Amino acid sequence: MKLAVKTLGKILSFAVVFFTISSSAFAAKPGDNNLEKLVDSVERKVINWRRDFHQNPELSNREFRTAEKVAEHLRSLGIEVQTGVAKTGVVGILKGGLPGKVVALRADMDALPVTERVKLPFASKVKTTYAGQNVGVMHACGHDSHVAILMGVAEVLAQVKDQIPGTIKFIFQPAEEGAPEGEEGGAELMVKEGVLKNPDVDVIFGLHISSQTPVGVIGYRPKGIMASVDDFRITVYGKQVHGSAPWNGIDPVVTASQIVNSLQTIVSRNMPLTQQAAVVTVGSIHGGVRSNIIPEEVQLIGTIRALDDNMRAQIHKRIREIANGVAESMGAKVKVDIPMSTSYPITYNSPLLVDQMLPSMQKQAGERNVVLIDAITGAEDFSYFAKEVPGFYFFLGGKPANVPIEKAPAHHTPDFYLDESGFQLGVSTLANMALDYLKQ
């Protein structure tokens, strides 16, 4: 997940929103206690799977071992399995004993180029080369827990398949963090390859663990819950010259610096921030090799976040205008790539589906523990699934109770840490949401 904020840890409001359905839909049923027992029975397995994946992380489009483990587990449950979907993705199809609709449940599998600092017995020691640099590999966003939770859901539901009125499709997705440059991947490629077809999916549910939301709490929001994301690259071309005589060349370092400063005015001066949030961040600058050589080229790399499509388009336009205008004023040239490699739409939750499923979530977590949150400027390619069919994406608490929110390590950091006691709620919530939707 493209996430770097602490909004999820703050409870903004409590919601009690009930969708009018038949009184029997969520009433206690003979199989309810049995389902709870099944969820309890897989908790230790889920934790062990998560630890195994955590110790053996794999980057985007390279989730070979993870995919093999998932496929092996699904086959052992008698679930129909498809592999090699969108390169390394795995899809399981569980056909219930009764006719009905099709629910998809999704988990992402990839890790990040982050070197782990957490002192765990199952900490990652994996190293690799990423973007020409030697880096560690770590599940620094919780995707290992997503995979393990969905494996647990599959095991629970496979044991009650004769009672399921419909079909459940388990989607284990690669490359949520973005495919390597020059490659396709992730949810966008899965959709392109027809993952929501044959059988045709009616709705899709997904969760994301949050290291800054307390264990036992579920955060949700109808409509836009996460921002769009576009990465960008601005390449500035100057004229190389000796550092002692800058007047004989065109300095791309100074030009790039002016561009970075000017980009900061897009959000502060061009965006209607009382309507929605937006972000333009330059995260990387590369250029030059010596103190006394003005280089020929400098490269800026950054990210764009928006919670409104019109604002998103305006940001793209202003980045191009500013980069070209500043470069022209300095005698340099620029090339602007938007996106550079990653582009996800706004993650949108169907308001009708949210209202419909809230009672199911509240039944599992308790009404007071299912809380309405603000939209955040993190991004998720679950958005591609939710563009095709109604979707509901929510956040599952993973912060230990004794850790203050301000001290809980953020996602995408070397110190990222999860309380595994929250996984069981993830299993029960996804399993019950799928069943409750089908039984309606």
- What are the residue numbers of the active site? 344, 420
Residue 410 in tokens: 């953020």
**From residue 388, how far is each of 16, 177, 406 by CA, in Å?**
28, 20, 37
What is the full DSSP assignment across 205-267?
A: EEEEEEEEEETT-EEE-SEEEE-EEEEEEEEEE-B-EETT-GGGSB-HHHHHHHHHHHHHHII
- The CA angle 269-274-276, to the nearest 5 degrees, is 90
Give phi and psi for 363, each to the nearest 5: -65, -35
Residue 31 in tokens: 């199989």
Report how far residue 432's alpha carbon sits from residue 79's, in angstroms, rounded to the nearest whole number. Answer: 19
Report how far residue 106's alpha carbon sits from residue 60's, in angstroms, rounded to the nearest whole number. Answer: 16
Give phi and psi for 267, each to the nearest 5: -70, -45
- Beta carbons of 395 and 216 less than 8 angstroms apart: no
